[in-house]
Structure 1
Amino acid sequence: MYFLSQIKPDDVGLIRILQTETPSSFRLICFPESAHSTAYYLSLSELLLPTVEVLAIQYPLYAGYEEGDDDRLTDSPELADRIFGALGEWMDRPFAFFGHRVGADLAYRVAERLERETGAALMTLFVSGRTAHWGMSLGPPALGCRIVALAAEGDPKTPLRGVRAWRRRTSGRFDLEVFPGSRGYLDSSRREVVNLVHDQLLSQVPVDAEWETGAEDKGA
């Protein structure tokens, strides 16, 4: 089940996906493709190790963010600001972002602001089913964290050339994972996606790392 903490229709908040009572070592903060698609991350969390706590961003449901207007999510600096403000209390352990389709654009914008204003770097920014399509800025890449791009081999709306352009968004490592089929790989290749998340997070853990997994549990 998942738990939604008193989020009003015009609010931005985080849905905490409840998996087990085992304290987590990592947080995977998910940026869905729309305000109506957060439930997918319940099935994703059921396959992840209990050391990975899954949170999903709940977008506002007021006019302008209704179904069919999802691309407008990425055109709102205010929305990125509100998500940035909502994340503060959840940054007490290593974390990664997972953005799907338009959610990938938002995840990138929030990650950029996190690094610029707080110096906090993600473990990994996962960008799924999205090309790096907006205008390139001059100068060095905005991010220093690892970016992992996911794409379908036969998706006509997400050509691999555009997906590879994400490598220019970071000075860190870039990986591209291509799945068979068109646009449904988050369902048809769900276990492979989960394995990819595990591999990417665990590969960045120092051998002698010891995080406080017994920290006070955060209620939503």
Structure 2
Amino acid sequence: MTIMERKTSLWIRRFNPAEGARARLVCFPHAGGSASFYFPLAQTMPPSVEVVAVQYPGRQDRRHERPIDDIAELADRIAGELAPWTDLPLALFGHSLGATLAFEVARRLERSGTVPIGLFASGRRAPSRHRDERVHQGDDRALLAQLKRLNGTDAQVFGDEEVVRMILPALRSDYRAAETYRYRPGPRLSCPVYALTGDDDAMVTVEEASAWGEHTSGPFELRVYPGGHFFLTAHAASIRDLVSHHIGAHAAHAQHL
């Protein structure tokens, strides 16, 4: 893949090209989310860290594509798409569904010889902690009600029937992917893992978040923030500083090896 092809990938969105960057942060959206969710982060991250975001099929400019409702298939595709972006040290950040997906992509990258400099898992229980959830099997009303409860979508969206019809297929597909995912035991990651969670998140307990430490042989850190499932919105500046600090430290170390 050429540089031009890399920059125009349907899967990877580069919001703030940073030619002098020392590391790259790859962001994975939540269920029903899109790459643009991370645009504010890209705008405020220091120039030493370039932010790119994954755009899943079935939403926004990819809305005419079939959504992929299987974590393994998504991870295979995304890991392949990231291969041309490994010219800089990579860190991965995922929220909710995106955290599970980032973990599976990290496993694939490590197997192919690319060890991320960090995995930031936000708003999601550890892969080995399973809950029997079946939101994706409910009707449209139940699915939208779940989305409202999590407070991660602008309330105006729910009043626009056309927009609702557009987001429902991808939303249902994402929930199916998240809820049918089953962790398959294997080698632990060797990269550092940072678990971020809200203290009032109905989707994740602190114990379930702390279990991320079982999935790496490298350093592990748990950060608990006030708030619910989308705690990261209220604490965006703090999380940005945390992520940029750790990326900077590990990128500097990697360059001196």
Q: Shared fold (TM-score greater than 0.5)?
A: yes
Q: Is the 8 A contact 1:123 1:146 kept in 2?
A: yes
Q: Is the 8 A contact 1:35 1:60 kept in 2?
A: no
Q: Percent identical across equivalent pairs?
A: 36
- How far apart are residue 36 of structure 1 and its match? 3.6
Inter-partner Cα distance in structure 2 for 1:48 and 1:142: 29
Matched with 1:89 is 84
CA deviation string 1:115-141 (max 9, x = no partner): 11x2211000000000012566567x4
Matched with 1:164 is 210
Per residue, is there more strand in 1 or in 2? 1
Matched with 1:5 is 8
> Closer, same or farther in 2 for the Cα pair 1:136/1:18, shift >3 Å?
closer
Q: RMSD value over aligned CA atoms?
A: 2.4
- How far apart are residue 209 of structure 1 and its match? 3.8
Matched with 1:39 is 36
Inter-partner Cα distance in structure 1 for 2:253 and 2:100: 33
> Closer, same or farther in 2 for the Cα pair 1:52/1:129, shift >3 Å?
same
> Closer, same or farther in 2 for the Cα pair 1:168/1:78, shift >3 Å?
same
Please point out which of 47, 52, 70 is paired with 1:50: 47
Letter in 1 for 2:220: F
The SS at the match of 1:39 is helix
Map 1:25-174 → 2, pairs under 5 A: 25-34=22-31, 36-61=33-58, 62-65=65-68, 72=69, 75-116=70-111, 118-132=112-126, 133-134=129-130, 141-174=187-220
Matched with 2:14 is 16
Matched with 2:222 is 176
Inter-partner Cα distance in structure 2 for 1:209 and 1:80: 27
Say which one has the larger Rg: 2
Q: TM-score, normalised by structure 1?
A: 0.79
Q: Is the 8 A contact 2:117 2:251 kept in 1?
A: no
CA deviation string 1:164-196 (max 9, x = no partner): 111010111110111112123221111001011
Letter in 1 for 2:14: R
Corresponding residue pairs, total:
193
Q: Is the 8 A contact 2:118 2:192 kept in 1?
A: yes
Which structure 2 segments of 5+ residues have no match?
1-6, 59-64, 131-181
